A and B are shown apart, each in its own frame.
Chain A
């Protein structure tokens, strides 16, 4: 009675695990970017090894790239001097090892976790890894996808395999119909609030239930994306017609008869009815309200109109002090300086549409800076084709080039010390968006409403 996870795991075991040694697990797709790979390529060079499967390696640049227009490597030393060396190194590594790079000028450049699905490289039943913890995103398609370190990036480049101990399984059932103005981001924030930031440690999560079945792929990706914020390396959702419809016709999926055969195989991946999980939790999405974080980890979440809780725990107190929020008062009391819409969590077309629906015909509050950063070049093109860029510009927001941007603040897109940023990204750690910057995680709707009001705001009155 295997689970979805077990089926995918079993299908990729090259050498089974024993008491002494972990399993050798085959990797079907390895996505690489400029920040976590240079040292791995250096290892290959030292040992004189080639990349074993360039055809299973997908390369792009996203983390440290500027979001102001850059069309060539020549521009980059001007707009992003810090990142220039790394970006050049990535070009050099890909050229030398024979890897196709979706770099500047490519219409498929973008955040690693946005372009994999867009290209159809992300597919049900695959094992997918990347030197980035949000690789869990790809689990939305029923893939086993997780983040790895740079040493492991080297292992996969050289052998297409990883040494892995089999993790435990955690079932998260989400039932109920989502109330208006409540989005996938609110659900996953509520789940992390419930299980805690270490609640999923050592586990792979499978998200199940009516609410999950009713979601489109982009919402499912938002949910799986933040599995790591709950401590789980991977989050998975069984593939269904929604998944197949999303993938159909994309550049890297099988075509013709091979497509039919793939769909038949994918349909058999769902957990068996009586599959057992090591742990289970459930959540009623029908009673949720928009959620925001109030502290310095993604488990410190509260309903938009609820009072910030209190505790005498020293770490909790330290977080409130850093955030300058008052227990007993709702987050809507807090003034906003910066709003960021983007990232691998919420930088896809539907996310931009949710934000634009609220901003349309309105102006953001005085003194608020708003950045809208599409997750990929494809998202950018699609948004522009629908006129979303005009909506954002007319509202007073900056419409920028694709990349990670303020999610990680490596490319100069940061908030100033002390500024409060309402962000659709995934981490509200101290300093994540700039030294001393205070991050409030929220859905695209909540972020857009906050830009309009100038304070952290409930999106529902704007709908």
Chain B
């Protein structure tokens, strides 16, 4: 994984609450056996009508959404299915961070493992961001802050090990494998065996 320190971008806003991973990427696109190329299926039924034409009202289809790396979404983003195809699709489309007042547990985990930054911020700032699409933000992963257009910096929680891995491009599987001895010891010493 590549190291990620800073993301600077304008925002695109999807104000809907409880956007689930089925909406992020519908099940019919999950018959793939690779991680690549899922961006074209991102939010498919929200982005396109039945004939495959872009829906004009959908925020990602607006010209000003072009090139935005930060998605601001309504409360409880990423709920539902555990499909990692959701962060894969967001990253493949070009997003690098998602901001909401709440982000579902499994999605958050999956996002961090792939270098998509889940940013949970307080309701007041979240509400302001929802009302002001297109503002320029800077996310500093090391400091765990979001810099607002007025220069104010707001902290956000990020699991310390996940942050360390993001900043240094560390693969967590490698870290786990370094503990092979401890794993073996555990397997041998436990009083009952599964």
Contacts and interface: CB of A to CB of B under 8 A. Distances in A.
Contacts of B179: 14-15, 24, 159, 161
B79 A231 contact: yes
Nearest to B180: A159
Contacts of A198: 18, 75-76, 79, 102, 104
A295 B93 CA distance: 29
Contact of B82 (A26, A36, A64, A160): A36
Contact of A64 (B31, B75, B79): B31
Given A159-B176, A297-B20, A22 B161 contact: yes
Contacts of B20: 297, 427, 429
B16 A318 contact: yes
A20 B162 CA distance: 9
A152 B106 CA distance: 11
A429 B19 CA distance: 9
B84 A417 contact: no
Interface string A123-162: 1001000011100000000000001111110110011110
Interface in B88-104: 102, 104
B37 to A, nearest CB: 12
Given A36-B82, A315-B17, A435 B45 contact: yes
B172 A163 contact: yes
A315 B183 contact: no
Contacts of B75: 198
Contacts of A158: 173, 176-177
A163 B28 CA distance: 30
B128 interface: no
Given A29-B194, A198-B79, A233-B106, A86 B33 contact: yes
A233 B81 CA distance: 11
A231 B183 CA distance: 30
A351 interface: no
A201 B102 contact: yes
A82 B105 contact: no
A429 B82 contact: no
Contact of A430 (B23, B161, B190, B192): B23
Given A20-B160, A155-B172, A410-B28, A202 B82 contact: no
A11 B189 CA distance: 12
Contacts of B161: 20-22, 163
Interface residues of A, number: 71
Given A410-B31, A432-B22, A152 B109 contact: yes
Instruction: From A22, A158, A409, A431, name the one whose CB has the most chain B CB atoms within 10 angstroms.
Output: A431
Contacts of B16: 314-315, 318
A39 interface: yes
Interface string A179-223: 000000000000000000110011000000000000000000000
A107 interface: no
B23 A314 contact: no
B83 A159 contact: no
Contacts of B23: 429-431
Interface in B19-67: 20, 22-23, 26-28, 30-35, 45, 50
B82 A85 contact: no
Contacts of B102: 198, 201
B113 A152 contact: yes
B164 A432 contact: no
Interface residues on B, range: 35 or more
A134 to B, nearest CB: 9
A189 to B, nearest CB: 16
Contacts of A21: 160-161
B181 to A, nearest CB: 10
B26 A201 contact: no
B138 interface: no
Contact of A159 (B104, B109, B183): B183
Contacts of B175: 163
B50 to A, nearest CB: 7
Contacts of B182: 14-15, 24
Interface string A239-281: 0000000000000000000000010010000000000000000
A52 to B, nearest CB: 8
Contacts of B74: 315
Contacts of A338: none
B170 to A, nearest CB: 11
Instruction: From B31, B102, B113, B190, name the one whose CB has the most chain A CB atoms within 10 angstroms.
Output: B31
B133 interface: no
B15 interface: yes
Contacts of B144: none
A26 B74 CA distance: 35
Contacts of B180: 159
A430 B113 contact: no
A427 B22 contact: yes
B45 A149 contact: no
Contacts of B83: 35-36, 149
Contacts of A155: 172-173, 176
A385 interface: no
A83 interface: yes
A326 interface: no
Contact of B160 (A19, A29, A38, A265): A19
A14 B187 CA distance: 9
A305 interface: no
Given A132-B81, A159-B176, A431-B23, 12 more contacts: A14-B179, A20-B161, A21-B160, A24-B183, A28-B194, A38-B34, A86-B31, A149-B113, A151-B110, A161-B176, A265-B192, A427-B20
9 contacts: A36-B84, A63-B30, A151-B84, A198-B75, A202-B105, A297-B18, A318-B16, A409-B28, A431-B22
The 5 A-B residue pairs with the shortest CB-CB distance, nearest first, are A28-B194, A38-B33, A149-B110, A149-B84, A147-B82
